[in-house]
């Protein structure tokens, strides 16, 4: 051991040799590359996720309102979004790339990411709306509220827990899939992961980028749980 | 549009290659699923049987569901290096939580009156588990296995992204060798495979349901009981 230590040249900070020899996790590399590599990747990742969730939510919400009015629409929407949901991400990305008007860009990625949010957001929103007791709905109508007012003042607030639960699952799903998306469009936390594998399986970058993706997912999940509690204070009171 | 359509004839012209990769794909997925079930199912069933550890059992699945698949594979590679076993290890980590939580919820939520009646009839603890709780828990238990199976099958191709065996994923990521038609063709195969596996396990789920329970269960709704919330479902990779 002592001999090995003397043979390996030491460039001041043991850090550099750590990177050069690819020994486990090198904190110094993370510090050196935080501003140039890791932080931009996190930001891109958050952007990709946010865009997909917002667009997916708008579409799914609208579909859920439609299905809420007309029961017959539920089955076809569930089946079609269900098929989209079941298609493995890598396959869907590549099938989309196969359409000649789409290329290796963010648009392709977002189409795929949005399509994965639809089933969960649609189903949860619809179930939330359906879970409103008929008595409550009738009481609201009896009080003279219009259908629109019943929806915005009674049904939607009561559906909120289910909607936020759906947003939670959709968000962690998209965060996970956005790492794979780097294969199509070189951005987000998947991009340092792929680079690390190409550069001789550079462990530090794998741990850092993989770890950040995990932290981001858990953080988003936790924040949405918190949001759920804040927007539905009555749920907690009931339980207590 | 054209490359998408060309994907279909490509499959027909390369059947032996497709079946070759499909074999590897199913082998990797099968091993990972078997190991995940072997580890997670007994723990989940036992915790549900003794009605203990609900906090852990439910949060394991919440955390497990949030784990980004590619990130888990990346970290696994960092720890054990490249290789087929690394991919299997990562798949087990990703698939086990949903199996565990569903097994827990399935056994835990069996009607207490039924269990009490069984005990009152003089059944031993083991018989209560094997002859009463497990049969009644089967639909939900299989729901977890079904979600895990689809998840594993859909995640195997990521192995190809990370430079190990990825079954059909090997073709998907290798446009240089197989051209866009091949890539799209293989992607169509993977998509079809996931849908077929889902339908297959839905069938198993239906068959495994005790006759007395059939008709009472809305199979579309019994997807995953993660976190005791029937609206939640596993993550696709």
> Is the separation of the CB atoms in A185 and A108 below 8 Å?
yes
Q: Tell me which chain A residues have a C-beta less than 8 angstroms from the C-beta of B81.
A: 201
Q: For residue A20, tell me if it sits in a domain.
A: no
Q: Tell me which chain B residues have a C-beta less than 8 angstroms from the C-beta of A23.
A: none
**Residue of A217, A239, A212 whose CA lies nearest to A168:** A217
> Is the separation of the CB atoms in B65 and B102 below 8 Å?
no
Q: Tell me which chain A residues have a C-beta less than 8 angstroms from the C-beta of B236.
A: 85-86, 88-89, 116, 173, 177
The pLDDT assigned to B225 comes to: 39
Question: Is B161 an 8 Å CB contact of chain A?
Answer: yes
Query: pLDDT tens across A105-133, in order?
Result: 889 999 999 999 999 999 999 999 998 99
Residue A150 has a CB neighbour count (10 Å cut-off) of 19
Q: Calculate the average pLDDT of chain A.
A: 85
Instruction: Out of B154, B163, B172, name the one closest to residue A94 (CB).
Output: B172
Does A198 have pLDDT greater than 50?
Answer: yes
The pLDDT assigned to A93 comes to: 87
Name the token pair of A133: 């007791």
* Pick among B7, B189, B236 to test the A interface (most A CBs inside 10 A): B236
Question: Is B40 an 8 Å CB contact of chain A?
Answer: no
The pLDDT assigned to A220 comes to: 93
Q: How far apart are CA A70 and CA A122, in angstroms?
A: 14
For the ranges A139-148, A173-182, B58-67, the lowest mean pLDDT is seen at B58-67
The pLDDT assigned to B56 comes to: 82
Check CB contact under 8 Å for B68 and A207: no
Q: How far apart are CA A57 and CA A163, in angstroms?
A: 10
| Total structural domains within chain A | 1
Give the pLDDT band of residue A15 (cuts 50, 70, 90).
low
Q: Could you tell me which chain A residue has the CA closest to the CA of B3?
A: A98
Dihedrals φ, ψ of A193, to 5°? Answer: -65, -50
Q: For residue A18, tell me if it sits in a domain.
A: no
What SS3 state is found at A97?
A: helix
The pLDDT assigned to A56 comes to: 96
CATH code of the domain in which B146 resides: 1.10.3720.10
- The overall pTM is greater than 0.90: no
Q: For residue B144, tell me if it sits in a domain.
A: yes
Q: How far apart are CA A9 and CA A24, in angstroms?
A: 19
Q: How far apart are CA A126 and CA B44, in angstroms?
A: 31
Low-confidence spans in chain B with pLDDT less than 50? 220-237
Question: Is B195 an 8 Å CB contact of chain A?
Answer: yes
B121, containing H or E segment: none
CA separation, residue B187 to residues A106, A107, B62 (Å): 19, 19, 29
Q: For residue B64, tell me if it sits in a domain.
A: yes
Question: Is B20 an 8 Å CB contact of chain A?
Answer: no
The pLDDT assigned to A171 comes to: 94
Q: For residue A178, tell me if it sits in a domain.
A: yes
Q: For residue A132, tell me if it sits in a domain.
A: yes
Q: Calculate the average pLDDT of chain B.
A: 84
CATH code of the domain in which A75 resides: 1.10.3720.10
A237, containing H or E segment: helix A233-239
Q: For residue B108, tell me if it sits in a domain.
A: yes
Q: How far apart are CA B107 and CA B118, in angstroms?
A: 15
Q: For residue A134, tell me if it sits in a domain.
A: yes
For the ranges A10-14, A17-21, A112-116, the lowest mean pLDDT is seen at A10-14
Q: Give one DSSP letter per residue of A37-84, joined into a string.
A: IIHHHHHHHHHHHHHHHHHHHHHHHHHHHHHHH-GGGHHHHHHHHHHH
Q: How far apart are CA B131 and CA A180, in angstroms?
A: 44
Query: pLDDT tens across A68-96, in order?
Result: 988 899 999 999 998 888 888 888 888 88
Q: Tell me which chain B residues have a C-beta less than 8 angstroms from the C-beta of A98.
A: 3-4, 7, 180, 183-184, 187
> A34: which residues sit within 8 A by CB, 6+ positions away?
none
Q: For residue A143, tell me if it sits in a domain.
A: yes
Q: For residue B1, tell me if it sits in a domain.
A: no
Query: pLDDT tens across A32-73, in order?
Result: 888 888 899 999 999 999 999 999 999 999 999 999 988 899
Q: For residue B110, tell me if it sits in a domain.
A: yes
The pLDDT assigned to A90 comes to: 85
Instruction: Out of A85, A90, A116, name the one closest to residue B169 (CB).
Output: A90
Q: Contacts for A19-25 with beta carbons within 8 Å, 24 or more apart?
A: A19/A204, A22/A200, A22/A201, A22/A202, A22/A203, A22/A204, A23/A203, A24/A203, A24/A204, A24/A207, A25/A203, A25/A204, A25/A207, A25/A208
What number is the average pLDDT over the span A12-33? Answer: 72
CA separation, residue A215 to residues A88, A102, A210, B37, B237 (Å): 23, 31, 9, 26, 17
Check CB contact under 8 Å for B71 and A172: no
Check CB contact under 8 Å for B161 and A194: yes
What SS3 state is found at B174?
A: coil
Instruction: Out of A86, A173, A210, name the one closest to residue B74 (CB).
Output: A210
Check CB contact under 8 Å for B4 and A88: no
Check CB contact under 8 Å for A214 and B191: no
Instruction: Out of A98, A194, A213, name the one closest to residue B68 (CB).
Output: A213
Tell me the shortest Cα–Cα distance from B10 to chain A, in angstroms. Answer: 13
Question: Is B199 an 8 Å CB contact of chain A?
Answer: no
The pLDDT assigned to A237 comes to: 61
Assess: ipTM above 0.90: no
Tell me the shortest Cα–Cα distance from B231 to chain A, in angstroms. Answer: 6
| Total structural domains within chain B | 1
Radius of gyration for chain B, computed over Cα atoms and rounded to the nearest angstrom: 20
Q: Tell me which chain A residues have a C-beta less than 8 angstroms from the C-beta of B176.
A: none
CA B36, B38, B39, B40: dihedral to nearest 10 degrees? 70
A11, containing H or E segment: none
Q: Residue A151 is part of which domain span?
A: 47-231
> B20: which residues sit within 8 A by CB, 6+ positions away?
none
Query: pLDDT tens across B14-28, in order?
Result: 888 999 999 999 999
Give the pLDDT band of residue A204 (cuts 50, 70, 90).
confident
Which residue stretches of A131-202 are H helix?
134-142, 147-149, 156-181, 190-198
Q: Residue B54 is part of which domain span?
A: 18-228
Question: Is B70 an 8 Å CB contact of chain A?
Answer: yes
Q: For residue A203, tell me if it sits in a domain.
A: yes
């Amino acid at each position: 051991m002592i001999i090995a230590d003397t043979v390996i040249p030491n460039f001041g900070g043991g850090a550099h040799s750590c990177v050069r020899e690819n020994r486990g996790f090198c904190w110094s590399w993370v510090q050196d590359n935080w501003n140039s590599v890791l932080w931009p990747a996190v930001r891109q990742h958050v952007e990709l996720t946010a865009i997909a969730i917002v667009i997916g939510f708008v579409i799914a919400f609208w579909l859920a309102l439609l299905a809420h009015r007309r029961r017959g629409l539920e089955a076809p929407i569930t089946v079609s979004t269900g098929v989209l949901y079941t298609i493995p991400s890598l396959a869907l990305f590549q099938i989309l790339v196969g359409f000649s008007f789409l290329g290796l860009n963010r648009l392709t990625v977002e189409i795929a990411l949005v399509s994965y949010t639809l089933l969960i957001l649609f189903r949860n929103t619809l179930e939330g709306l359906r879970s409103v007791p008929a008595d409550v709905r009738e009481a609201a109508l009896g009080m003279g509220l219009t259908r629109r007012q019943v929806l915005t003042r009674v049904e939607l607030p009561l559906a909120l827990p289910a909607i936020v639960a759906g947003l939670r699952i959709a968000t962690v799903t998209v965060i996970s899939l956005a790492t794979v998306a780097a294969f199509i469009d070189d951005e987000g936390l998947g991009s340092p992961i792929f680079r690390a594998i190409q550069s001789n399986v550079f462990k530090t970058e794998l741990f850092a980028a993989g770890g950040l993706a995990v932290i981001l997912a858990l953080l988003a999940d936790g924040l949405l749980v918190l949001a759920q509690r804040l927007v539905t204070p009555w749920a907690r009171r009931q339980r207590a | 549009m054209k490359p998408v359509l060309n994907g279909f004839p490509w499959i027909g012209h390369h059947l032996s290659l497709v079946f070759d990769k499909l074999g590897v794909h199913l082998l990797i997925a099968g091993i990972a699923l078997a190991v995940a079930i072997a580890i997670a199912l007994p723990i989940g069933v036992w915790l549900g049987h003794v009605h203990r550890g609900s906090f852990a059992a439910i949060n394991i699945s919440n955390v497990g569901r949030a784990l980004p698949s590619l990130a888990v594979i990346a970290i696994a590679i960092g720890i054990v290096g490249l290789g087929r076993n690394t991919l299997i290890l990562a798949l087990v980590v990703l698939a086990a939580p949903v199996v565990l939580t569903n097994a827990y919820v399935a056994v835990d939520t069996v009607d207490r009156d039924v269990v009490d009646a069984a005990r009152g009839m003089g059944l031993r603890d083991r018989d209560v588990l094997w002859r009463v709780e497990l049969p009644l828990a089967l639909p939900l238990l299989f729901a977890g296995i079904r979600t895990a199976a689809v998840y594993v099958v859909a995640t195997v191709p990521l192995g190809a992204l990370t430079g190990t065996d990825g079954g059909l994923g090997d073709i998907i990521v290798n446009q240089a060798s197989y051209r866009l038609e091949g890539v799209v063709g293989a992607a169509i195969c993977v998509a079809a495979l996931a849908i077929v596996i889902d339908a297959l396990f839905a069938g198993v789920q239906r068959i495994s349901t005790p006759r007395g329970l059939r008709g009472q269960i809305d199979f579309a709704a019994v997807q995953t009981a993660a976190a005791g919330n029937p609206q939640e479902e596993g993550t696709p990779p």
